[in-house]
Structure 1
Amino acid sequence: MPQLNPTPWFAILIITWLVLITVVFSSVLMFTFPNDPSLLDTNPILAEPWNWPWF
């Protein structure tokens, strides 16, 4: 049964993974976020009570 011989399939597997890793990693590492994360404002938000007309 030739499919049990790992010699050609292992080489194909390794070459395929190397190609995919170089293509995927290079494209993922070049990805830039559309908006850079920045620190949030440290001032607390002052909440004002609502003026309910029925209360």
Structure 2
Amino acid sequence: MPQLNPAPWFIILIFSWAMFLTIIPPKILAHTFPNEPSTQSTKEIMTKPWNWPWH
């Protein structure tokens, strides 16, 4: 049963995590969004209440 032999699977695990931790994060962190979010005003919007009859 080759699943019980940890030698090849441990090396694959180590190399895959090494690739994940060294190659992928800089690519993700270098990504820029085309439209940066802008700050919204803190002014409260005055809304008019509905004066509809409820019958």
TM over 0.5: yes
| Whole-angstrom CA distance in 1 between matches of 2:24 and 2:5 | 29
Matches within 5 A, 1:6-45: 6-45=6-45
| Residue type of the alignment partner of 1:8 | P
Q: For residue 45 of structure 1, report the CA deviation from its aligned partner.
A: 3.8
RMSD, matched Cα: 2.3
Distance change >3 Å, CA 43–CA 2, structure 1 → 2: closer
Q: For residue 29 of structure 1, report the CA deviation from its aligned partner.
A: 0.6
TM-score normalised by length of structure 2: 0.59
Aligned length: 51
Gapped runs of 5+ residues in structure 1? 49-55
